Structure 1
Amino acid sequence: MSSQPAPSPTAPPSLTEVETHGVERIPDADRTATPFDLFRLAFGGANTFSTCVLGAFPILFGLSFWQGLAATLLGVVVGALILCPMAVFGPANGTNNAVSSSAHLGVHGRVVGSFLSLLTAVAFFSLSVWSSGDALVGGAHRLFGLSRGDLSYVVAYALFAGLVLAVCVYGFRFMLFVNKVAVASATALFLLGAVAFAGDFDPSYAGSFTDPVASDAGMFWPSFIGSALIVLSNPVSFGAFLGDWSRYIPATVPRRRVIGAAFLSQIATLLPFVFGLATASVIASKAPDYVDPAAPDYVGGLLAISPGWYFLPVCLLALIGGMSTGTTALYGTGLDFSSVFPRLSRVQATVLVGVVSIGFIFVGRFALDLVQSISTFATVIITCTTPWMVVMMLGFLVRRGWYDPEALQVFNRRQRGGRYWFTHGWNWRGMTAWWVAAVIGVLFTNIPGQFVGPLGDLANGVDVSLPLSLAVAAVLYLALLWLFPEPRAAYGPGGARLVRTIETPVEPITGPGAPAADQSPRPVL
């Protein structure tokens, strides 16, 4: 045992100090975050108005309140269970999850995680700006008579997106501060909303599937599963981003605490989900035109049924919650984009991704009418992201949680070689398990009235895409690891778990800043 004392943590930087850390391993002395900070970031990123929009989908799909509540509970709990193990990579490696995936997909294969996080961020950043901007304009129209023309929406979207981008540029500490405020204030506003709508809410709202012999009764299970999957897309969407925040947690913190914080953060999102579900049932009863599946407008319906005194809280909820969702989505993508293009700093990459995302928001809102398709986009992204998460989690299991920090950074430093070089920088085992499972998942996707894959009707209209892609990824990945063993050097001192290995020479790391040939990298246990 070494007699050298552990490095003392340095004082956290101020809120207005721009974060300088990119995806390189965070020094131990700078890792001062706690599992509770992770909880606040993950919960704050979902305790928002956009989550309410997702929570309204069970009603849009024709479910009753109680049926929708069951679908919501199923989606949140299963999604939280899938998500929470992804929190361990940040403390273990001091970097984000895309970089950590180098160990399982290869030095070059890690770009898969970067691509998935980019698509997820654009989808949920857009959803937060659209829903929050619509609420702000609608509330201002009811309060002050502001015109609801395109110019009002343009200004609202631009201002809101600009605020989110500014927070992301300042970085982790500023984002953590925003979420500290957002968690408490948004929760209070949701509870105030429960008071506002208590008189109109009727838990006996029946939906469209009350008669078991009705001609449309066969659509119940497709609608139920589709609703659960849309809800599940919210927690799973954080899979690529958890490492962005947990990398500031010291490696010495017990893993069960980190996993528990990630799990509980998603269970807590039942608050905005149930708020969206309950208010959507009220809208369906009092203003059904707003929940027409052909042209749903949850935000407009909520404002239509709100008492006058709740207009201002709705605007505050849209502003605070949307800031939280937007920052958690955009920050991680800017961080990861800087690792794919090392010539860009974290700030430059964040600005670039932010500008592109804002462009997508305007095109989607005013030109391509993509707002109504956001649930389809999110579900398909999650169908592709979940197999990647399975490969990561099983890889962590078979590696006994051991990683080589130097080899993980090979791509970012424009080097070559190392334990995770595999075949020219690609680990075809993990890559194959991911893309095969993702393709099968998309083929079997069945979102009622929105997107049906070529094989989506084989299960009588029930969407089996997620369980199928999960199972295929798990079985195929473990089978490939067993049939085509990885080099022993990719595993730590404890060796492999559940799979075989082979003794194969490892290409030394070469390139800028490469360690000496006899240097042994420090393991992270």
Structure 2
Amino acid sequence: MTEVETHGIERIPEEDRNATALDLFRVSFGGANTFATAFLGAFPILFGLSFWQGFAATVAGLTVGALLLAPMAVFGPTNGTNNAVSSSAHLGVHGRIVGSFLSLLTATAFFSISVWSSGDALVGGLNRLVGVPQEMGSFAVAYGIFGILVLIVCIFGFRFMLLVNKIAVTAATLLFIVGFIAFWGDLNLDFVGSFGTGLDGMGMAGFIPAFIGAALIVMSNPISFGAFLGDWARYIPTNTPKRKVMGAALLAQLATLVPFTFGLATASIIATKAPEFMDPAAPNYVGGLLAVSPAWYFVPLCLIALIGGMSTGATSLYGTGLDFSSVFPRFSRVQATLFIGVLAIIFIFVGRFGFNLVQSISTFATLIVTCTAPWMVVMIIGFIVRRGWYDADALQVFNRRQTGGRYWFNHGWNLRGMLSWLISAAVGLSLVNMPGQFQGPLGNLAGGVDISLPAALILAAVLYLGMLWIFPEPRAVFPAAGPRWVPSSDTPVPEVFGADGKVVNQERGDAARTATVDGTMAGTDEMAAQS
């Protein structure tokens, strides 16, 4: 458990893969069962919804996001590497850097949000408990402690992170349940927002944009895991049924209804008893929560902040270091983690004390999710049309500084996947409508409703399938059974050349392709068949 992980982005050997679908659940749920998620749960109230309207928006956003995320879990066990490397099959040997940088940016943003929210809660709780001053020095110490502890966990790697999350899943869930008990007397399920209490608010001006906006905020949480879900799933054996892996990812996100509901419930209490903390222009959920909490709950609140910050920070930063090493293979996983970790900690301090970037980071995270969602669509559709078959050796061409192979396409770029992602992401960004933060040039196209995410998702699916029909992919990228839904071409596949200019033997990939006629080698047809 405490040995430093040596594996990077190369394919994990089967003999080293002893993780389970339950482990994936623990890491995924542990990384989201945190104070930062509770803060996101407060947004429906900030948008003016009642408790039940907010709960409906939360369930809708969480369900859709979890269903979209679940298929992203299959790439890790199938290819034994992270999702960015797996994306080489659909965006090209060079195009896979899109997934790497999406993962880098997403993880850094959510790591920062986690440390900020947890650090503020810890300092605020200690202030009420023992009088620790809420000043720059106290916050600096809290952020520094979180940052260093998370960095240590990430350096040790997957096994140690799994141990931390095993503890976090149970402890944080129990502490949230204790929190429901603490606030039970003040719980206001009949809280009335700006649009009545139930379906009667649907006809009021502004309700639909508020409801959709709240659902999209919630939906962004599971989608944020899409780029680096394979970081943890790559340790699961290849022959693990895909339904179990997808089920673990799905249930992990649905289980976050606990912290989301905690945030929703406590936000309604704060809006009733201390409304000054729920000003949409400058919300202070942490301060409001401390203001309405009973004194005996300060200790559990501090523990949630500590455990949650460790869990979310570790899952985010681990993926960041792993992906950085995939883009710059000269860095080992440990070196990349140290480098990115130090930069992220510096970013946190500069953002907190040099600028007021909390709102900016929140906007930044939303924009990243808008770009990540269409990338996920390309990956999922690609998995299905390829019948779940991949040449795992050819996926490593970029990392080995080689050229050519099945996924070389057009000089290392698969324009079918690249253009589908690029156009969809650009359209999605242009439709973003975040009042007071960011609004794209087409933000008011739907009467103030932010339709950026659903538009990007639908457009990506239509464009990618259309590209695959109009410009069929080479026959060699599909298994012996051929493609599903789309045609293929007889385009020849270039040989793989090493960094020394010599041809690399491709027999391993050819043998694997032949062995997967019935999908038995990796169970790769299972997900596609179930879909």
TM-score (norm. length: structure 1): 0.95
Corresponding residue of 1:41: 27
Corresponding residue of 2:194: 208
Kept in 1, the 8 Å contact 2:498–2:504? The answer is no
What does 1:24-423 align with in structure 2 at a 5 Å threshold? 24-210=10-196, 217-423=204-410
Q: How far apart in 2 are the matches of 1:213 and 1:255? A: 43
* Residue range with higher mean Cα deviation, 515-524 or 79-88: 515-524
CA displacement at 1:449 relative to structure 2? 3.6
Kept in 2, the 8 Å contact 1:222–1:448? The answer is no
Q: Does 1:522 align with 2:512?
A: yes
Q: How far apart in 1 are the matches of 2:511 and 2:35? A: 45
Q: How far apart in 2 are the matches of 1:210 and 1:403? A: 52
Other structure's SS at 2:403 match = coil
Kept in 2, the 8 Å contact 1:137–1:153? The answer is yes
Give the letter aligned to residue 293 of structure 1.
P
Q: 1:299-344, CA deviations, whole angstroms, 9 ceiling, x for partnerless residues?
A: 1111111111000100000000111101111101111110110110
CA displacement at 1:447 relative to structure 2? 2.3
Q: 1:389-412, CA deviations, whole angstroms, 9 ceiling, x for partnerless residues?
A: 000000001100000011100000
Kept in 2, the 8 Å contact 1:229–1:379? The answer is no
Q: Does 1:458 align with 2:445?
A: yes
CA displacement at 1:355 relative to structure 2? 1.2
When the two chains are superposed, the root-mean-square deviation of aligned CA atoms in Å is: 1.5
Corresponding residue of 1:4: none
CA displacement at 1:518 relative to structure 2? 4.8
CA displacement at 1:494 relative to structure 2? 1.2
CA displacement at 1:213 relative to structure 2? 11
Q: How far apart in 2 are the matches of 1:70 and 1:478? A: 33
* Residue range with higher mean Cα deviation, 373-382 or 65-74: 373-382
Q: How far apart in 2 are the matches of 1:319 and 1:213? A: 41
Other structure's SS at 2:12 match = coil
CA displacement at 1:124 relative to structure 2? 0.7
Give the letter aligned to residue 330 of structure 1.
L
Kept in 1, the 8 Å contact 2:109–2:365? The answer is yes
* Residue range with higher mean Cα deviation, 341-350 or 444-453: 444-453
Q: 1:521 to 1:158 in 2, by over 3 A?
A: farther
Q: How far apart in 2 are the matches of 1:296 and 1:364? A: 18
Q: Which runs of 5+ in 2 are unaligned?
A: 514-521, 525-531
Q: Which runs of 5+ in 1 are unaligned?
A: 1-14
* Residue range with higher mean Cα deviation, 462-471 or 95-104: 462-471
* Residue range with higher mean Cα deviation, 356-365 or 320-329: 356-365
Corresponding residue of 1:21: 7
Corresponding residue of 2:518: none
Give the letter aligned to residue 111 of structure 1.
I
Counting matched residue pairs gives 510
Q: 1:174-219, CA deviations, whole angstroms, 9 ceiling, x for partnerless residues?
A: 00000000000000000000110000111111012239999x9422
Q: How far apart in 2 are the matches of 1:316 and 1:201? A: 22
Kept in 1, the 8 Å contact 2:385–2:486? The answer is yes
Kept in 2, the 8 Å contact 1:364–1:371? The answer is yes
Q: How far apart in 1 are the matches of 2:511 and 2:291? A: 61
Kept in 1, the 8 Å contact 2:84–2:96? The answer is yes
Q: How far apart in 2 are the matches of 1:268 and 1:246? A: 18
Q: 1:152-183, CA deviations, whole angstroms, 9 ceiling, x for partnerless residues?
A: 11111011111001100000000000000000
* Residue range with higher mean Cα deviation, 367-376 or 76-85: 367-376
Give the letter aligned to residue 193 of structure 2.
G
Q: 1:12-43, CA deviations, whole angstroms, 9 ceiling, x for partnerless residues?
A: xxx22100000000000000000000001100
Give the letter aligned to residue 67 of structure 1.
Q
* Residue range with higher mean Cα deviation, 78-87 or 438-447: 438-447
Give the letter aligned to residue 522 of structure 1.
A
CA displacement at 1:517 relative to structure 2? 5.2
Other structure's SS at 1:425 match = coil
Q: How far apart in 2 are the matches of 1:420 and 1:236? A: 26
Give the letter aligned to residue 361 of structure 2.
I
Other structure's SS at 1:184 match = helix
Q: How far apart in 1 are the matches of 2:506 and 2:20? A: 36
Q: 1:52 to 1:517 in 2, by over 3 A?
A: closer
Misfit runs of 4+, over 4 Å: 211-214
CA displacement at 1:521 relative to structure 2? 4.9
Q: Does 1:431 align with 2:415?
A: no
Kept in 2, the 8 Å contact 1:226–1:448? The answer is no
